[in-house]
A = this chain, B = another copy of it.
Amino acid sequence: MVFTEPQHCSIDLRLRILSRLPFFKDLPAKAVEEINRHFVEMDYQRGERIYTAGDPAERLYVVADGKVRLLQHAESGKDVLLGILGSGEFFGNLAALGTAVHIDTAEAHTPICALSVRSEDFRQILDEHTGLALRALEVLGERLSAANQRVLLISAMPVDRRIAFMLLEISRKFGRQEEMGLLIDMPLSRDDLAEMTGATPETVSRVLSQLQSGGVITSGRQWIAITDRQKLEAQAGA
């Protein structure tokens, strides 16, 4: 079970990513091409930091290929994994105007290729193409909704339910049907899950062991597959 992905993307991929973005979908091809000129390609190794919370938010990014981790850290050293982004998703400060700083930290969860644009340029693009800002609003709205959901999850549910819930969430986004079940198509460690659910790796390990012996999931080193979605949903809901 190895997850290898190319570390840079072709010129072709680049334009295709941009034009397929829900974001730019309704724009004429010519406009997308014009917009494309403002983007530059940036590649990162697994684990590499793209930006850190507190840095001035000078650029905005789109994942072209690979997965990106968004996290928030406490002075205690404990990190919280806010989410994992896949191809086509924005990160950086979508609302960046002027002198804003990044509110989260982004790092490469797998080797990634990202497209990046200067905040000012993006702002200008928003200005020129009315309607795009509304799209941006939608994206932010969804993120806000997810974050609120998360607060509820962590502050009102026991760990085992949180973990079950999170697995469902992740599988919905990154699941790929395989013989063994619905495989989560990226490296996902116990630590990752712990940072997402506000638990410790030990606890996550225990809960996963239990799920595994219950026939709900199959898992190994850095990978998890859901074999019985029904049961998992029951676990999350009850």
Contacts and interface: CB of A to CB of B under 8 A. Distances in A.
Contacts of A155: 78, 80, 154, 197-198
A203 interface: no
Q: What is the copy number of this chain in the assembly?
A: 2
Contacts of A143: 144
Given A94-B137, A97-B134, A154 B152 contact: no
A145 B103 contact: yes
A74 to B, nearest CB: 4
A141 interface: yes
Interface stretch (A41-49, A122-130, A208-216): A122-130
A154 B153 CA distance: 11
A144 B83 CA distance: 13
Which of A80, A82, A100, A148 gathers the greatest number of chain B CB atoms within 10 Å? Answer: A148
Contact of A144 (B76, B133, B147, B197): B147
B152 A150 contact: no
Contacts of A97: 134, 138
A2 interface: no
Contacts of A130: 127, 130
B140 A144 contact: yes
B72 A152 contact: yes
Which of A74, A94, A137, A154 gathers the greatest number of chain B CB atoms within 10 Å? Answer: A137
B149 A72 contact: yes
Which size bracket describes the interface of A in this complex? 35 or more
Given A156-B74, A156-B198, A95 B151 contact: no
B145 A134 contact: no
A94 B123 CA distance: 19
Contacts of A100: 141
A95 B138 contact: yes
A137 B140 CA distance: 8
B103 A151 contact: no
Given A80-B152, A80-B156, A141 B140 contact: yes
8 contacts: A72-B152, A74-B156, A103-B148, A140-B144, A144-B144, A144-B147, A150-B151, A151-B151
Given A74-B156, A133-B137, 4 more contacts: A82-B151, A95-B134, A97-B134, A144-B144
